Amino acid sequence: MVNKQALKEIDSICKKHNAQLVAVTKKRSTEEVRELYELGYHIFAENRVQDLLAKKELLPDNIEWHLIGHLQRNKVKYIVPFVKLIHSVDSIRLLSEINKEAEKANKTVDCLLQFHVAQEESKYGIIPKNIDTFISNLTTIETNNIKIRGIMGMASFTEDKNQIKKEFMQLKSIFEMLKKEYFKENDFSILSMGMSSDYKIALEEGSTLVRVGSALFE
Ligand SMILES: *Cc1c(COP(=O)(O)O)cnc(C)c1O
């Protein structure tokens, strides 16, 4: 069930920071998602393509769906026709595939570059020291049908608030650097950071979009 009290509080904190609240519906039943929908929330995120497709099928058409988890190239074609924002782009080959499928679908797909700044090992996310290589490789592919709107990242799973804050500051500085040096358009404007356990810290460090799941439910 939706925790209405928590939802109200999180929503009001996001509004205070002018940030977008994206409700992460992974592992939640269709009924729970519908409950959120009926409370007026229409921006939802899933981390797996299968789950995204399954939920989309059962829920109203005017939902804005985001993908926040790792995306395999062979699954790009299933989501391109409807997805509003892909948060988890971390390779040139993936971007290239998204562009190809978007061209076929005759549309432009909004993407975020995912960065890995947390302490845990992860196969996913661009390593900050590889930014320059990534950017120079970006100029070698067709990008007419994709729009890079900003970046996404996750902080470490730790109780250490200082560590979390440091990582969000690092993401913010990557975002500012990319905006200044490479993506000067106004629509490079999304800094996607903050989840249930750390969204308050993320908002204080300049997040423009939080991805909150478990805290919205009881
Ligand atoms: C699951 C998930 C979230 C939301 O996590 P909660 O702790 O449930 O708020 C946010 N971002 C990503 C990438 C996720 O996989």
pLDDT of residue 123: 87
pLDDT of residue 36: 98
* Structure confidence by residue, pLDDT tens digits, 112-124: 999 999 999 988 9
Structure confidence at residue 50 as a pLDDT band (50, 70, 90): very high
Q: What is the atom index within ligand 1 of the atom nearest the CA of 195?
A: 9
Q: Is the CB of 214 under 6 A from ligand 1?
A: yes
pLDDT of residue 88: 98
Ligand 1 atom 13 nearest Cα: 68
d(CA 8, CA 6): 5
Phi, psi for 99 (deg, rounded to 5): -60, -45
Residues 170-188: b if buried by 16+ CB within 10 A, e if exposed: bbbebbeebbeeebeeeeb
* Structure confidence by residue, pLDDT tens digits, 91-101: 999 999 999 99
pLDDT of residue 3: 98
* Structure confidence by residue, pLDDT tens digits, 160-173: 999 999 999 999 99
Q: What is the mean pLDDT of residues 137-156?
A: 97
* Structure confidence by residue, pLDDT tens digits, 64-89: 999 999 999 999 999 999 999 999 99
β-pairing, 190-192 with 146-154?
A: parallel
Q: Is the CB of 47 under 6 A from ligand 1?
A: yes
β-pairing, 109-116 with 146-154?
A: parallel
Only one residue has tokens 């509004």, namely 15
CB within 8 A of 51, min separation 6: which ones?
26
Helices marked H in 45-181 — which ranges? 49-58, 76-79, 92-104, 131-138, 161-181
Residue 18 region by backbone torsions, left for phi larger than 0, else alpha for psi between -120 and 50, else beta = left
pLDDT of residue 76: 98
CB within 8 A of 22, min separation 6: which ones?
43, 44, 45, 66, 68, 192, 209, 210, 211, 212
- Hey, which of 33, 36, 68, 199 would you mutate to test ligand 1's pocket, going by the most ligand atoms within 8 Å of its Cβ? 68
